[in-house]
Amino acid sequence: MVKGLEQPVQETVVTTEDGDHERFTHIVLEGYTPEGGDFVALGNSVVDGMVNATPVTALCGKVWVPGRDPQKYPLCPTCREVAERLGWSLPS
């Protein structure tokens, strides 16, 4: 190798967030409407979480700040189980 013409070594560092290996789409209950009443919010909405970087809570109990495309991940099995126990219909 000619002195001064050495190629710099490029190091690729891959960082992962906690839980990257277990990414799921979660279900968030944003509120409910009692019979004959007005909507009652239970916490931050997913949209609010994405826009304002505020955490939301899933049916399974996971708390996180939403920011990724949920269509890229499988549905959380615990969220699915809770939703089905509540009688909600979910896509297969």
∠ CA(25), CA(29), CA(82), 5° rounding?
Answer: 70
pLDDT at position 19, please? 58
Phi then psi for 46, rounded to 5 degrees?
A: -65, -40
Please list the residues that pair with 40 across neighbouring strands. Answer: 32
Residue 13 is encoded by which pair of tokens?
Answer: 């560092």
Residue 1 is encoded by which pair of tokens?
Answer: 């190798």
Give the pLDDT mean for 59-77. 91
Distance, CA of 75 to CA of 91 (rounded, Å): 10
Residue 74 is encoded by which pair of tokens?
Answer: 């499988």
Every domain of the chain and the residues it spans: 24-85
Give the pLDDT mean for 37-65. 92
pLDDT at position 44, please? 85
pLDDT at position 22, please? 64
